[in-house]
Chain A
Amino acid sequence: MRLAAIRTAPVVLALASAPAAALEAYTVVGDAIPAPLGGKVGDIERGRALVLDRTQGNCLICHHVPEPNEPFQGTIGPDLAGVGARLEAGQLRLRLVDASLLNPQTVMPPYFRNQGLRDVAPAFRDRPALTAQEIEDVVTYLASLRTP
Protein backbone atom coordinates (compact mmCIF):
# COMPACT_ATOMS: atom_id res chain seq x y z
CA MET A 1 0.00 0.00 0.00
CA ARG A 2 2.82 2.32 0.89
CA LEU A 3 4.62 1.33 -2.28
CA ALA A 4 1.53 2.12 -4.32
CA ALA A 5 1.33 5.55 -2.72
CA ILE A 6 4.92 6.21 -3.65
CA ARG A 7 4.26 5.07 -7.21
CA THR A 8 1.27 7.28 -7.84
CA ALA A 9 2.71 10.39 -6.24
CA PRO A 10 6.46 10.93 -6.45
CA VAL A 11 7.66 12.11 -3.04
CA VAL A 12 10.19 14.86 -2.64
CA LEU A 13 12.04 14.56 0.63
CA ALA A 14 13.39 18.07 0.91
CA LEU A 15 14.15 17.71 4.62
CA ALA A 16 13.43 21.41 4.93
CA SER A 17 13.14 21.15 8.71
CA ALA A 18 16.70 19.86 9.20
CA PRO A 19 18.47 22.43 11.39
CA ALA A 20 22.09 22.26 10.34
CA ALA A 21 22.84 19.44 7.95
CA ALA A 22 20.12 19.41 5.29
CA LEU A 23 20.77 16.51 2.96
CA GLU A 24 20.62 16.73 -0.80
CA ALA A 25 16.99 16.47 -1.91
CA TYR A 26 15.88 13.51 -4.00
CA THR A 27 12.76 12.38 -5.83
CA VAL A 28 11.33 8.89 -5.48
CA VAL A 29 9.71 7.47 -8.61
CA GLY A 30 8.17 4.05 -8.14
CA ASP A 31 10.76 2.00 -6.27
CA ALA A 32 13.69 4.09 -7.45
CA ILE A 33 15.52 7.38 -7.07
CA PRO A 34 16.42 7.86 -10.74
CA ALA A 35 18.73 10.89 -10.41
CA PRO A 36 22.17 10.75 -8.78
CA LEU A 37 22.20 12.46 -5.36
CA GLY A 38 23.41 16.05 -5.69
CA GLY A 39 24.32 15.29 -9.31
CA LYS A 40 27.46 13.45 -8.12
CA VAL A 41 29.30 10.97 -10.31
CA GLY A 42 30.17 7.66 -8.63
CA ASP A 43 33.48 5.82 -8.73
CA ILE A 44 33.63 2.01 -8.78
CA GLU A 45 36.87 1.61 -6.80
CA ARG A 46 35.85 4.06 -4.09
CA GLY A 47 32.50 2.30 -3.91
CA ARG A 48 34.14 -1.10 -3.52
CA ALA A 49 36.34 0.25 -0.71
CA LEU A 50 33.28 1.68 1.07
CA VAL A 51 31.43 -1.63 0.78
CA LEU A 52 34.33 -3.58 2.30
CA ASP A 53 35.38 -1.07 4.99
CA ARG A 54 34.08 -2.13 8.40
CA THR A 55 33.83 1.48 9.60
CA GLN A 56 32.04 2.79 6.49
CA GLY A 57 29.49 0.75 4.55
CA ASN A 58 30.41 -2.49 6.33
CA CYS A 59 28.01 -4.18 3.89
CA LEU A 60 29.64 -7.59 4.39
CA ILE A 61 28.32 -7.76 7.93
CA CYS A 62 24.96 -8.72 6.36
CA HIS A 63 25.61 -9.35 2.64
CA HIS A 64 27.69 -11.64 0.48
CA VAL A 65 29.72 -9.98 -2.28
CA PRO A 66 31.91 -11.70 -4.91
CA GLU A 67 35.19 -11.09 -3.05
CA PRO A 68 37.12 -14.35 -2.58
CA ASN A 69 39.58 -12.73 -0.14
CA GLU A 70 36.81 -11.84 2.31
CA PRO A 71 36.19 -15.05 4.30
CA PHE A 72 33.61 -13.77 6.79
CA GLN A 73 30.49 -12.52 5.08
CA GLY A 74 26.97 -12.10 6.40
CA THR A 75 23.91 -14.15 5.44
CA ILE A 76 21.15 -11.69 6.29
CA GLY A 77 20.62 -9.55 3.20
CA PRO A 78 20.36 -10.62 -0.44
CA ASP A 79 23.53 -11.87 -2.15
CA LEU A 80 25.01 -8.88 -3.98
CA ALA A 81 26.61 -10.99 -6.71
CA GLY A 82 24.72 -10.02 -9.86
CA VAL A 83 22.73 -7.31 -8.13
CA GLY A 84 23.68 -4.92 -10.95
CA ALA A 85 21.84 -7.18 -13.40
CA ARG A 86 18.77 -7.49 -11.17
CA LEU A 87 18.29 -3.82 -10.26
CA GLU A 88 18.68 -0.50 -12.07
CA ALA A 89 20.96 2.15 -10.58
CA GLY A 90 17.94 4.14 -9.38
CA GLN A 91 16.53 1.09 -7.59
CA LEU A 92 19.89 0.45 -5.93
CA ARG A 93 20.00 4.13 -4.90
CA LEU A 94 16.63 4.01 -3.14
CA ARG A 95 17.53 0.79 -1.31
CA LEU A 96 20.71 2.41 -0.01
CA VAL A 97 19.18 5.79 0.81
CA ASP A 98 16.30 4.43 2.88
CA ALA A 99 14.97 0.93 2.23
CA SER A 100 12.18 1.53 4.75
CA LEU A 101 10.45 3.62 2.07
CA LEU A 102 9.76 0.29 0.32
CA ASN A 103 9.35 -1.95 3.36
CA PRO A 104 8.69 -0.35 6.76
CA GLN A 105 9.80 -3.58 8.49
CA THR A 106 13.14 -3.80 6.72
CA VAL A 107 16.31 -4.67 8.61
CA MET A 108 18.36 -2.75 6.03
CA PRO A 109 19.63 0.45 7.68
CA PRO A 110 19.02 3.82 6.01
CA TYR A 111 22.37 5.08 4.73
CA PHE A 112 21.23 8.54 3.65
CA ARG A 113 18.96 9.80 6.37
CA ASN A 114 19.48 11.98 9.42
CA GLN A 115 15.91 12.54 10.61
CA GLY A 116 13.39 10.45 12.50
CA LEU A 117 16.08 8.38 14.22
CA ARG A 118 16.16 7.74 17.95
CA ASP A 119 19.07 7.80 20.42
CA VAL A 120 21.76 8.20 17.76
CA ALA A 121 25.30 8.11 19.21
CA PRO A 122 26.81 11.61 19.46
CA ALA A 123 29.51 10.83 16.89
CA PHE A 124 26.88 10.01 14.27
CA ARG A 125 24.19 12.53 15.15
CA ASP A 126 22.63 14.74 12.46
CA ARG A 127 24.66 13.19 9.65
CA PRO A 128 23.83 10.31 7.34
CA ALA A 129 25.81 7.06 7.43
CA LEU A 130 27.10 7.81 3.94
CA THR A 131 27.36 11.14 2.07
CA ALA A 132 25.72 11.79 -1.29
CA GLN A 133 29.07 11.19 -3.01
CA GLU A 134 29.59 7.93 -1.10
CA ILE A 135 26.09 6.70 -1.98
CA GLU A 136 26.86 7.35 -5.66
CA ASP A 137 30.19 5.51 -5.33
CA VAL A 138 28.46 2.47 -3.82
CA VAL A 139 25.64 2.58 -6.43
CA THR A 140 28.26 2.61 -9.21
CA TYR A 141 30.12 -0.34 -7.68
CA LEU A 142 26.96 -2.40 -7.11
CA ALA A 143 25.71 -1.65 -10.63
CA SER A 144 28.97 -3.18 -11.90
CA LEU A 145 28.26 -6.54 -10.19
CA ARG A 146 26.52 -8.16 -13.13
CA THR A 147 27.53 -11.82 -12.76
CA PRO A 148 25.25 -13.93 -10.53
Chain B
Amino acid sequence: MSAAGRALAIVLLALAGTALADEIKPGSAFLSPQMQRQQEDEARNPGWLWVEQGEELFDRRDGTTPACLSCHADPRQSLRGAAARYPQVDAASGKLINLEGRIEQCRVDRQKQPAFGYESQELLGLTAYVASLSKGVPLSVSAEGAAKPFYEAGKAFYQRRQGQLNLACTQCHDRLVGQKLRGDTISYGIGTGYPAYRLEWNGLGSLHRRLRACSLGVRARQFDYGSDDYLALELYLAVRAKGLALEAPGLRR
Protein backbone atom coordinates (compact mmCIF):
# COMPACT_ATOMS: atom_id res chain seq x y z
CA MET B 1 0.00 0.00 0.00
CA SER B 2 1.29 3.50 -0.83
CA ALA B 3 1.94 6.12 1.85
CA ALA B 4 -1.14 8.04 0.68
CA GLY B 5 -3.17 4.85 0.79
CA ARG B 6 -2.02 4.15 4.32
CA ALA B 7 -2.87 7.68 5.41
CA LEU B 8 -6.33 7.35 3.87
CA ALA B 9 -6.82 4.01 5.64
CA ILE B 10 -5.86 5.59 8.95
CA VAL B 11 -8.33 8.43 8.42
CA LEU B 12 -11.08 5.96 7.51
CA LEU B 13 -10.31 3.85 10.58
CA ALA B 14 -10.43 6.96 12.77
CA LEU B 15 -13.81 7.92 11.28
CA ALA B 16 -15.11 4.41 11.83
CA GLY B 17 -13.98 4.60 15.46
CA THR B 18 -15.81 7.89 15.95
CA ALA B 19 -18.98 6.54 14.39
CA LEU B 20 -18.87 3.54 16.70
CA ALA B 21 -18.46 5.73 19.78
CA ASP B 22 -21.39 7.88 18.74
CA GLU B 23 -23.61 4.84 18.39
CA ILE B 24 -23.14 3.58 21.95
CA LYS B 25 -26.54 3.39 23.59
CA PRO B 26 -27.57 2.97 27.23
CA GLY B 27 -29.08 -0.21 28.63
CA SER B 28 -32.60 1.22 28.43
CA ALA B 29 -32.33 1.36 24.62
CA PHE B 30 -32.53 -2.45 24.65
CA LEU B 31 -35.75 -2.58 26.69
CA SER B 32 -39.22 -2.96 25.25
CA PRO B 33 -41.11 0.35 24.81
CA GLN B 34 -43.33 -0.68 27.73
CA MET B 35 -40.36 -1.16 30.05
CA GLN B 36 -38.80 2.08 28.83
CA ARG B 37 -41.96 3.94 29.83
CA GLN B 38 -42.05 2.07 33.15
CA GLN B 39 -38.47 3.11 33.91
CA GLU B 40 -39.33 6.75 33.33
CA ASP B 41 -42.48 6.63 35.50
CA GLU B 42 -41.51 7.19 39.14
CA ALA B 43 -44.77 5.63 40.29
CA ARG B 44 -44.17 2.41 38.34
CA ASN B 45 -40.37 2.00 38.54
CA PRO B 46 -39.75 0.14 41.85
CA GLY B 47 -36.24 1.64 42.02
CA TRP B 48 -37.83 4.86 43.30
CA LEU B 49 -38.77 3.06 46.55
CA TRP B 50 -35.03 2.86 47.27
CA VAL B 51 -34.58 6.49 46.24
CA GLU B 52 -37.22 7.54 48.78
CA GLN B 53 -35.55 5.47 51.52
CA GLY B 54 -32.22 6.98 50.57
CA GLU B 55 -33.63 10.50 50.82
CA GLU B 56 -34.92 9.73 54.32
CA LEU B 57 -31.49 8.47 55.37
CA PHE B 58 -29.88 11.51 53.79
CA ASP B 59 -32.00 13.82 55.95
CA ARG B 60 -31.77 11.78 59.16
CA ARG B 61 -29.59 12.62 62.16
CA ASP B 62 -28.37 9.72 64.33
CA GLY B 63 -27.86 11.26 67.80
CA THR B 64 -25.11 13.85 67.57
CA THR B 65 -24.07 12.68 64.12
CA PRO B 66 -24.54 15.32 61.47
CA ALA B 67 -26.95 14.29 58.71
CA CYS B 68 -25.75 14.18 55.11
CA LEU B 69 -28.02 17.18 54.68
CA SER B 70 -26.02 19.11 57.33
CA CYS B 71 -23.16 19.50 54.84
CA HIS B 72 -25.00 18.97 51.54
CA ALA B 73 -27.76 21.56 51.92
CA ASP B 74 -30.21 21.81 49.03
CA PRO B 75 -28.94 18.56 47.46
CA ARG B 76 -31.11 18.94 44.36
CA GLN B 77 -28.86 21.84 43.46
CA SER B 78 -25.62 21.12 45.31
CA LEU B 79 -25.33 17.46 44.32
CA ARG B 80 -26.75 17.73 40.82
CA GLY B 81 -24.12 16.27 38.51
CA ALA B 82 -22.01 14.81 41.35
CA ALA B 83 -22.80 11.19 40.47
CA ALA B 84 -21.84 11.84 36.84
CA ARG B 85 -18.20 12.35 37.91
CA TYR B 86 -17.70 8.90 39.48
CA PRO B 87 -15.62 6.79 39.68
CA GLN B 88 -12.82 9.26 40.38
CA VAL B 89 -9.48 9.24 42.14
CA ASP B 90 -9.78 10.26 45.79
CA ALA B 91 -7.26 13.08 46.25
CA ALA B 92 -6.39 12.16 49.84
CA SER B 93 -5.78 8.44 49.40
CA GLY B 94 -4.88 8.29 45.71
CA LYS B 95 -7.33 5.42 45.34
CA LEU B 96 -10.10 5.07 42.80
CA ILE B 97 -13.52 5.29 44.42
CA ASN B 98 -17.02 5.09 43.05
CA LEU B 99 -20.18 6.72 44.35
CA GLU B 100 -20.76 3.92 46.86
CA GLY B 101 -17.20 4.35 48.11
CA ARG B 102 -17.61 8.11 48.51
CA ILE B 103 -20.82 7.72 50.49
CA GLU B 104 -19.22 5.13 52.79
CA GLN B 105 -16.21 7.41 53.21
CA CYS B 106 -18.48 10.25 54.35
CA ARG B 107 -20.30 7.87 56.67
CA VAL B 108 -17.11 6.64 58.37
CA ASP B 109 -14.80 9.66 58.27
CA ARG B 110 -17.24 12.53 58.72
CA GLN B 111 -20.29 11.01 60.40
CA LYS B 112 -18.12 8.66 62.55
CA GLN B 113 -20.58 5.83 61.97
CA PRO B 114 -19.90 2.21 60.99
CA ALA B 115 -19.92 1.62 57.25
CA PHE B 116 -23.22 0.36 55.86
CA GLY B 117 -21.49 -2.30 53.75
CA TYR B 118 -21.66 -2.81 49.99
CA GLU B 119 -25.06 -3.93 48.74
CA SER B 120 -26.79 -3.15 52.07
CA GLN B 121 -30.25 -1.66 51.57
CA GLU B 122 -29.06 1.55 53.23
CA LEU B 123 -26.11 2.04 50.89
CA LEU B 124 -28.20 1.07 47.86
CA GLY B 125 -30.83 3.61 48.93
CA LEU B 126 -28.37 6.45 49.45
CA THR B 127 -26.54 5.65 46.20
CA ALA B 128 -29.79 5.52 44.27
CA TYR B 129 -30.90 8.81 45.81
CA VAL B 130 -27.65 10.65 45.06
CA ALA B 131 -27.53 9.13 41.56
CA SER B 132 -31.14 10.19 40.94
CA LEU B 133 -30.14 13.80 41.60
CA SER B 134 -28.04 13.58 38.41
CA LYS B 135 -30.76 12.05 36.26
CA GLY B 136 -30.27 13.32 32.72
CA VAL B 137 -26.79 14.71 33.40
CA PRO B 138 -24.18 13.49 30.86
CA LEU B 139 -21.57 11.17 32.31
CA SER B 140 -18.27 13.03 32.58
CA VAL B 141 -15.53 10.88 34.08
CA SER B 142 -11.82 11.52 33.65
CA ALA B 143 -9.37 8.96 32.30
CA GLU B 144 -6.46 11.37 32.55
CA GLY B 145 -3.85 12.21 35.15
CA ALA B 146 -4.14 10.18 38.35
CA ALA B 147 -7.02 8.20 36.80
CA LYS B 148 -4.97 7.01 33.84
CA PRO B 149 -3.45 3.82 35.37
CA PHE B 150 -6.89 2.80 36.69
CA TYR B 151 -8.43 3.42 33.28
CA GLU B 152 -5.74 1.32 31.60
CA ALA B 153 -6.30 -1.49 34.13
CA GLY B 154 -10.05 -1.40 33.47
CA LYS B 155 -9.53 -1.41 29.72
CA ALA B 156 -7.20 -4.42 30.02
CA PHE B 157 -9.79 -6.22 32.14
CA TYR B 158 -12.50 -5.46 29.56
CA GLN B 159 -10.38 -6.78 26.72
CA ARG B 160 -8.93 -9.95 28.22
CA ARG B 161 -10.48 -13.38 28.00
CA GLN B 162 -11.38 -14.92 31.32
CA GLY B 163 -13.20 -17.81 32.92
CA GLN B 164 -13.72 -21.37 31.80
CA LEU B 165 -15.69 -20.07 28.80
CA ASN B 166 -12.68 -17.93 27.89
CA LEU B 167 -14.58 -14.80 26.88
CA ALA B 168 -13.70 -11.11 27.06
CA CYS B 169 -16.28 -8.38 27.72
CA THR B 170 -15.44 -6.74 24.39
CA GLN B 171 -16.31 -9.84 22.36
CA CYS B 172 -19.99 -9.47 23.22
CA HIS B 173 -20.43 -5.84 24.24
CA ASP B 174 -18.60 -4.30 21.27
CA ARG B 175 -18.86 -6.90 18.51
CA LEU B 176 -22.15 -8.71 19.14
CA VAL B 177 -24.41 -5.92 20.36
CA GLY B 178 -28.04 -6.52 19.36
CA GLN B 179 -27.60 -10.28 19.01
CA LYS B 180 -29.64 -12.64 21.15
CA LEU B 181 -28.32 -14.63 24.08
CA ARG B 182 -31.31 -16.91 24.56
CA GLY B 183 -34.12 -14.35 25.04
CA ASP B 184 -31.87 -11.47 26.02
CA THR B 185 -30.43 -8.82 23.71
CA ILE B 186 -26.74 -8.04 24.14
CA SER B 187 -26.24 -4.39 25.09
CA TYR B 188 -23.18 -2.18 25.11
CA GLY B 189 -22.56 -2.88 28.77
CA ILE B 190 -23.29 0.67 29.91
CA GLY B 191 -23.71 1.31 33.64
CA THR B 192 -25.63 4.60 33.54
CA GLY B 193 -28.80 2.97 34.95
CA TYR B 194 -27.16 1.63 38.11
CA PRO B 195 -28.09 1.09 40.84
CA ALA B 196 -30.91 -0.55 38.90
CA TYR B 197 -34.04 -2.49 39.71
CA ARG B 198 -33.61 -5.80 37.94
CA LEU B 199 -36.57 -8.12 37.45
CA GLU B 200 -34.23 -11.11 37.78
CA TRP B 201 -33.25 -9.86 41.25
CA ASN B 202 -36.65 -8.65 42.33
CA GLY B 203 -34.78 -5.75 43.85
CA LEU B 204 -32.29 -2.95 43.44
CA GLY B 205 -28.64 -3.85 42.90
CA SER B 206 -25.35 -2.12 42.28
CA LEU B 207 -23.30 -2.18 39.09
CA HIS B 208 -20.81 -4.45 40.84
CA ARG B 209 -23.59 -6.96 41.50
CA ARG B 210 -24.33 -6.88 37.77
CA LEU B 211 -20.65 -7.34 36.95
CA ARG B 212 -20.51 -10.34 39.29
CA ALA B 213 -23.37 -11.87 37.31
CA CYS B 214 -21.38 -11.36 34.09
CA SER B 215 -18.33 -13.03 35.67
CA LEU B 216 -20.46 -15.98 36.73
CA GLY B 217 -21.86 -16.18 33.20
CA VAL B 218 -18.43 -16.84 31.72
CA ARG B 219 -17.55 -19.08 34.70
CA ALA B 220 -14.92 -16.62 35.86
CA ARG B 221 -13.92 -15.67 39.37
CA GLN B 222 -16.40 -13.24 40.89
CA PHE B 223 -14.44 -10.35 42.33
CA ASP B 224 -15.52 -8.73 45.58
CA TYR B 225 -17.94 -5.81 45.70
CA GLY B 226 -15.83 -2.68 45.58
CA SER B 227 -12.75 -4.65 44.46
CA ASP B 228 -9.98 -2.88 42.56
CA ASP B 229 -10.77 -5.01 39.49
CA TYR B 230 -14.44 -3.99 39.27
CA LEU B 231 -13.68 -0.37 40.19
CA ALA B 232 -11.21 -0.13 37.31
CA LEU B 233 -13.73 -1.78 34.98
CA GLU B 234 -16.43 0.63 36.20
CA LEU B 235 -14.12 3.53 35.32
CA TYR B 236 -13.44 2.14 31.86
CA LEU B 237 -17.15 1.60 31.22
CA ALA B 238 -17.91 5.14 32.43
CA VAL B 239 -15.28 6.72 30.18
CA ARG B 240 -16.56 4.64 27.29
CA ALA B 241 -20.08 5.94 28.05
CA LYS B 242 -18.94 9.57 28.23
CA GLY B 243 -21.77 11.94 27.34
CA LEU B 244 -24.58 9.46 27.97
CA ALA B 245 -27.18 10.70 30.45
CA LEU B 246 -27.47 9.09 33.86
CA GLU B 247 -30.72 7.20 34.19
CA ALA B 248 -30.52 5.65 37.67
CA PRO B 249 -32.55 4.09 39.08
CA GLY B 250 -32.78 2.08 35.88
CA LEU B 251 -35.17 -0.77 35.21
CA ARG B 252 -33.62 -3.91 33.76
CA ARG B 253 -34.69 -7.44 32.90
Is B161 in the interface zone, CB < 8 Å from A? yes
A113 to B166, CA, bound (A): 10
A74 pairs with B181, CB closer than 8 A: yes
Closest chain A residue, CB of each to CB of B215:
A121
B219 contacts partner chain A, Cβ-Cβ < 8 Å: yes
Count, chain B residues at interface, CB 8 A: 23
Q: Is B167 an interface position by the 8 A CB rule?
A: yes
Q: How large is the interface on A (under 10, 10 to 19, 20 to 34, 35 or more residues)?
A: 20 to 34
Q: Are B219 and A107 in contact (CB under 8 A)?
A: no
A121 touches B180 (CB 8 A): no
Q: Which of B44-52, B59-67, B171-179, B200-208 contacts its partner?
A: B171-179
Cβ of B114 within 8 Å of any chain A Cβ, yes or no, is no
Measured between beta carbons, the chain B residues less than 8 angstroms from A18 are none
On chain B, the residues within 8 Å of A74 by CB distance are 179-182
Residues of chain A within 8 A (CB-CB) of B161 are 117-118
For B216, give its contact among A61, A71, A72, A121 (CB under 8 Å).
A121
Q: Answer yes or no: B110 CB below 8 A from chain A CBs.
A: no
Closest A residue, CB atoms, query B163: A120
Q: Are A72's CB and B166's CB within 8 A?
A: no
Within 8 Å of chain A (Cβ to Cβ): is B72?
no
Bound Cα distance A109, B134 (Å): 40
> Other than the known A100-B166, A110-B166, A118-B160, what 7 A-B pairs have Cβ atoms closer than 8 Å?
A72-B183, A73-B180, A113-B166, A120-B162, A120-B219, A125-B164, A129-B165
For the complex of A and B, 4 pairs with smallest distance between CB atoms: A72-B183, A109-B165, A124-B164, A75-B180
Q: List 28 A-B contacts (CB under 8 A).
A: A61-B182, A71-B183, A72-B180, A72-B183, A73-B180, A73-B182, A74-B180, A74-B182, A76-B180, A76-B181, A107-B167, A107-B171, A107-B176, A109-B164, A109-B167, A117-B162, A119-B162, A119-B163, A120-B162, A120-B219, A121-B163, A121-B164, A121-B215, A121-B216, A121-B219, A121-B220, A129-B164, A129-B165
B-side interface residues toward A, CB under 8 Å?
Answer: 160-167, 171-172, 175-176, 179-183, 215-216, 219-222
